[in-house]
Structure 1
């Protein structure tokens, strides 16, 4: 395992810390400014609100189509629920590299402001829509502008400090995303359950069914104000002449790391669909317990990401960690078809949640190390491929599960096992920070 510069020695995680080595005057100046302004906390808030918006929409979308857009057929509601979700993901895939590259040229703050403003307006516009074409347009715009927040927040967080602090910040950003996704359904469920006191035709903004979108838009607007006030306009890394950045770049090519991201998210997306089908058709679980399993997966990911941020491993290379994480995912995928009750599925979900909880921030961190000055472009590509992998995994699992459920699980597990073995064999090329 490679070591980072001495400036990271003994550094503790402070979400508001956007500083570099402690012994450099210019970096102390930056640290003082960003500490007082809570710059990194603002990035956490921006990431949280975007994923909150995604999690808020998922459970309420069928009800919105039924009550606000007046769709009566169950098949019609199911079709457009899937397509509207797919439009969002497709926009995220298409626009993330563009926004990331733009942030390298124009600055992170400007792109974050555009992204949050557009996301807020798109969410508000969706709550106001009364026909299907406008609904598709609003969801596409929401995905396009969310694509400006996710990779650019990571690129902004990578601008200051050394490898240890960067790894911890990426873990915190992943935790904020997981927490937002987990909180979204609870928020929408609570708001949509408010009793309707007016006839539907007289309701403002579609009534409680549309309120989750309005509240999310308001939160995004509030975060926009905080970003405008607290995120520096020029977040370029500042090191004095002759001083090297206190970190070692990953020797893996960016393309290899992006491929690992695609495979990790493909496995996660396929597992999510497989879990829904397996738990209902083979194990016979009710919707409450199926939802509980998804909550367990998110909570395990959140706990792993928080532990990573507060106690990063010091004796394992990133190759060991990536290989081990893919191995956990493979075992979890392979264990699911053999689970005969809730607790068997619980163990499989926990293993996959732990593996993906390590992989998501660690791969983003490695891509950041390998990308040099093109942080936004590289992280934008990673966000796009993550979206593509998850969508492809979900779609593929849904199609293949009908024909051969067990074969689908085994095929996915073998792919993940091979990826784990590849990471273990190439472990010397993946650099991990050490305190």
Structure 2
């Protein structure tokens, strides 16, 4: 297998633009979360805020699930640059449309379009990195791309809360309060427009060379990719269930105030960021990374399985750290492994992985809430069991069923 489909190094400026593109998409998703209930409340008529809050989040993930493989395949045929730029442009328009929407159906349209165009950026930026990187540099760059996504997700709610707060602090009035709703979307769209313009003028199209496989090798890689897609679904199922279950456990069973629940989620983000940049990158570079799959799944499973029996806040923080560390390693690692075995169809492979991850997170979030209503430990123990299944699948990968290729000299 040819290790890199790219024929030239990825310049620092281009890589920064790819990171900024991923950051923009994640920020665009995160900026909606804090103000979504308030956006629904300002609509006239009897609107069920909890019901539509969930559905508006769900349609975004559904669009991402459906369109990520389509955009990935399109980028294999049309090129990475036009698909990324089209995705950024569409996302900017979707954010603006949601901010000015005065009706529920227009809000749904904006969220669907946001998911459609986000699906054009997330997998294709990774495919761009894979086109222009050998396996060693790819591991480090994938870690930084994942970190950019996490930082964007953190920046979105912070931006929404800050700008909404600024508007609310102004003299009272209906128009000012409405301004608090659209202002974060305007700011996020403006940032996206800046990234789009920079990409239009400064992001070149990577030149990819074909990487054909013998039929037997291609079949083996296809089986490997299917296993990696399933592992991606399980990881994000675990994250979705964990996030919902943790919030409910802290509020209803442990009686934690919002500040302590916020501390746990902040810890989760910081530990994931550290795991992606400090643990995954050097180990993947030196050992190929596939041997990390089983330990990371086991760490996640142990942390989730013990969360329902944690009585002290300090123990809870430790277990949250375990779950975060395991997922922080697995997210870039699985994308890295998919790219190593994607051959010439990097866009299609990474698009399918993005779809699997989106589906897993949607299912995990839904299952977490439903199972917690039955009994508090249920979402944690079921998810821990599924993660143990993931460890068994990863065991076959670690034994060599999916051997990572050695580093290439090009790129």
Same-fold status (TM-score > 0.5): yes
Mapping for residues 34-433 of structure 1, pairs under 5 Å: 35=11, 38-66=13-41, 68-70=42-44, 76-196=48-168, 197=170, 200-203=173-176, 206-233=178-205, 235-237=206-208, 253-308=224-279, 311-313=282-284, 316=287, 318-427=289-398, 428-432=400-404
**Which 4+ stretches in 1 moved above 6 angstroms?**
none
RMSD: 2.5
CA distance in 2, matches of 1:392, 1:182: 22
Aligned partners of 1:319 and 1:424 also within 8 Å: no
- Pairwise CA distance, 1:433: 6.6
User: CA offsets, 1:55-109, max 9 Å, x none?
Assistant: 111111112222x325777xx1111111111111111111111111111110010
Q: Distance in 1 between matches of 2:280 and 2:392?
A: 26
Partners of 1:349 and 1:70 in 2: CA distance: 40
Which consecutive residues of structure 1, in runs of 5 or more, have no partner in the other structure?
9-18, 21-26, 241-248
- Matched-pair contact (CA < 8 Å) for 1:252–1:370: no
Distance 1:253 1:432 in 2: 11
What CA distance in whole angstroms lies between the structure 2 residues aligned with 1:239 and 1:161?
A: 15
How much has 1:236 moved relative to structure 2? 2.6
Cα 1:200–1:370 shift into 2, 3 Å = farther
Structure 2 CA distance for aligned equivalents of residues 106 and 258 of structure 1: 24
Distance, in Å, in 2 between the alignment partners of 1:137 and 1:106 is 26
- Relative to structure 1, the CA distance from residue 251 to residue 61 in structure 2 (aligned partners, 3 Å threshold; closer, same or farther) is closer
Distance of aligned partners of 1:70 and 1:291 in 2 relative to their CA distance in 1, 3 Å threshold: farther
The 3-state SS of whatever aligns with 1:340 is: coil
The DSSP-based 3-state class of the residue aligned with 1:53 is helix
Asked if the contact 2:30/2:153 (under 8 Å) is kept, the reply is yes
Given the superposition, is the C-alpha separation of residues 288 and 391 from structure 1 closer, same or farther in structure 2, using an over 3 Å criterion?
same
Encode CA deviations 1:317-336: one digit per residue, 9 max, x unaligned. Answer: 53320101100110111111
Gaps of 5+ in 2: 212-219
Q: Which moved more, 1:307-316 or 1:291-300?
A: 307-316
Report if the CA contact (8 A) 1:273-1:394 is conserved.
yes
By how many angstroms is 1:431 displaced?
3.3
The offset of 1:429, in angstroms, is 2.5
Deviation at 1:432, TM superposition (A): 4.4
Return the TM-score normalized by structure 2.
Answer: 0.90
Cα distance, 1:434 vs structure 2: 6.8
Relative to structure 1, is the Cα distance of residues 195 and 202 closer, same or farther in structure 2, using a 3 angstrom cutoff?
closer
Query: What TM-score do you get using the length of structure 1 for normalisation?
Result: 0.85
Q: Any conservation in 2 of the 1:323–1:421 contact (CA below 8 Å)?
A: yes
CA 93–314 in structure 1, closer or farther in 2 if over 3 Å, else same: closer
User: Comparing both structures, which one devotes a greater share of its residues to helix?
Assistant: 2
What SS is found at the alignment partner of 2:392? helix
- In the TM superposition, residue 411 of structure 1 has moved relative to its aligned partner by 2.2
Distance in 1 separating the partners of 2:221 and 2:303: 29
